[in-house]
Amino acid sequence: MFGFGLDIGDLIDIGLQVARSVEAHDEMAAAQARAQASRNEAERMKHQAVAETKALENRKLAEKIAAESVGVDCQGCGAKLAIRKGSISFCAYCGSAIRVTEEGKASVLSPEARKAVIDRARAEHNKNNQ
């Protein structure tokens, strides 16, 4: 009756097929979107885990340094310093060289001893940069 060999039943069938195909396409797109979302989530969780591990390592390192450090009042200027046991450190305010023993006892180095520490560090630096 439409002159193309199609009757109303065929048109309904074609309409249903188109609808099913659109539906299938939508489902596939939705499934792909879900897969992408779960990949994104997995990636996000991985980054978070890495960041948390780094934060934990930094905290452990900070705790280790804190546990190995002692609070020292700079005898040159009175500034409060935290210096690692068994090391020599320079006051950030007045430049005094302060030695802290493994037992946590602090003492200011004499100017000569301070210069010797700096000369040694300088020689070490130059050796490493040759």
Applying CB under 5 A, the residues found at the interface with Zn ion are: 74, 76-77, 79, 91, 93-94, 96
**For Zn ion, which is the closer residue by CB, 86 or 93?**
93
**For Zn ion, which is the closer residue by CB, 74 or 100?**
74
**For Zn ion, which is the closer residue by CB, 35 or 108?**
108
CB of 106 to Zn ion, least distance (A): 12
CB of 94 to Zn ion, least distance (A): 3
Count of CB atoms situated within 10 Å of the CB of 100 = 22
CB of 74 to Zn ion, least distance (A): 3
Over the chain, what HEC string results? CCCCCCCHHHHHHHHHHHHHHHHHHHHHHHHHHHHHHHHHHHHHHHHHHHHHHHHHHHHHHHHHHHHHEEEEECCCCCCEEEEECCEEEECCCCCCEEEECCCCCEEECCHHHHHHHHHHHHHHHHHHCC
CB of 79 to Zn ion, least distance (A): 5
| C-beta separation of 116 from 82 below 8 A | no
**For Zn ion, which is the closer residue by CB, 76 or 104?**
76
